[in-house]
């Protein structure tokens, strides 16, 4: 491990620069879907945080576009999309809100935010519509896959911009990160997710989303889904950086795990829905 990796990892582990989980995020993590008494509590937590509430309703409407009339209140969201999905959307949004910073960084922050929401939404829709499987976790894992980039953007902005510069010069993301950081956003994201006590499945997706899905022993199917969704988000122009970055796509490995229509067909199916991410 070189010195830059060591420094960044120590900063992350000691939370010198990164925020700890907000009250809102911690309260949401502590809720369990088995205890019905928590329904009103979830509504209260979200309603007490207006910026988070606004984003939660925006994301809920994108994820469920066309299935329901517009969702306008938190209680409405609870009735239409259910406790677990609402909890996962609120958790994702509250985690992202920790990384909000100066106006100077607003544009690049929104690129990251929209890329993440697009990836989570695509994961959710593919799971429900094509795999016919429960998709609550798939939305969360899809949304949080690039949490390491949020951490870099927030705490190591100079390095983040240097990586962007290298990308515009033709470096791959992995090579640019290893050159500047000595590590990758996937590894940084996993350290952070583990510290916050996020589920093991989320940690695996964060670590392997740009890699061969089979590297995840327990969660290769979820990793394959997020890997595919990340690729499709790029195809729609939702890049995590201000420059286009080539995105790995291990087509054969993904289709060995997921029984899905060809990726080009999926892109056509998803086109209209994903446009709504622009309205966030």
| b/e 227-266 (16+ beta carbons within 10 angstroms → b) | bbbbbbbbbbebbbbeeebebebbeebbeebbebeeeeeb
For 49, phi and psi rounded to 5 degrees? -125, 80
42, 81 Cβ separation under 8 angstroms: no
The helix/strand/coil state of 133 is coil
Which residues does 236 contact at the CB level (< 8 Å), separation at least 6? Answer: 118, 267, 270, 271, 274
Which residues does 135 contact at the CB level (< 8 Å), separation at least 6? Answer: 123, 124, 127, 128
Task: Please give the C-alpha separations between residue 128 and each of 10, 66, 276, in angstroms, as whole numbers.
Answer: 40, 14, 18
Tokens 């809102």 belong to residue: 24
Q: From first to last of its 280 residues, what are the pLDDT tens digits of the chain?
A: 455 555 666 666 554 556 666 778 878 877 754 555 578 888 998 998 888 898 889 888 887 766 667 889 999 988 888 888 888 889 888 888 888 777 889 899 999 999 998 999 899 889 988 998 876 688 889 999 999 999 999 888 999 999 999 999 999 999 999 999 888 999 999 988 888 888 899 999 999 999 999 999 999 999 999 999 999 999 999 999 999 888 889 999 999 999 999 999 999 988 877 777 777 6
pTM of the predicted protein model: 0.85
The strand pairing partners of 65, in sequence order, are 68
Measured distance CA(150)–CA(83) in Å, rounded: 27
């Amino acid at each position: 491990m070189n010195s830059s990796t060591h420094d960044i990892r120590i900063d992350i582990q000691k939370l010198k620069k990164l925020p700890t989980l907000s009250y809102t995020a911690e309260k949401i993590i502590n809720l369990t879907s088995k205890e019905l008494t928590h329904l009103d509590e979830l509504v209260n937590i979200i309603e007490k945080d207006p910026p988070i509430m606004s984003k939660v309703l925006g994301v809920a409407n994108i994820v469920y576009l066309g299935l329901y009339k517009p969702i306008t209140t938190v209680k409405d969201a609870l009735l239409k999309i259910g406790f677990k999905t609402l909890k996962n959307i609120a958790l994702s949004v509250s985690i992202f809100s920790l990384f909000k910073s100066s106006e100077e960084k607003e544009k690049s922050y929104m690129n990251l935010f929209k890329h993440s929401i697009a990836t989570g939404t695509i994961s959710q829709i593919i799971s429900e519509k094509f795999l016919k499987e429960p998709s609550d976790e798939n939305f969360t894992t899809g949304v949080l896959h690039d949490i390491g980039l949020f951490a870099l953007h927030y705490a190591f902005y100079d390095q983040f911009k240097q990586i962007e510069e290298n990308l515009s010069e033709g470096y791959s993301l992995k090579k640019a990160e290893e050159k500047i950081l000595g590590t990758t956003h996937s590894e940084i994201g996993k350290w952070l997710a583990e510290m916050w006590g996020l589920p093991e499945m989320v940690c695996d997706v964060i670590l392997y989303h740009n890699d061969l899905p089979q590297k995840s022993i327990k969660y290769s199917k979820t990793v394959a889904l997020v890997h595919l969704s990340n690729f499709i988000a790029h195809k729609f122009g939702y890049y995590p950086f201000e420059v286009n970055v080539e995105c790995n796509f291990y087509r054969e490995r993904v289709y060995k795990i997921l029984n899905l229509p060809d990726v080009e067909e999926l892109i056509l199916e998803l086109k209209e829905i994903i446009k709504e991410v622009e309205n966030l």
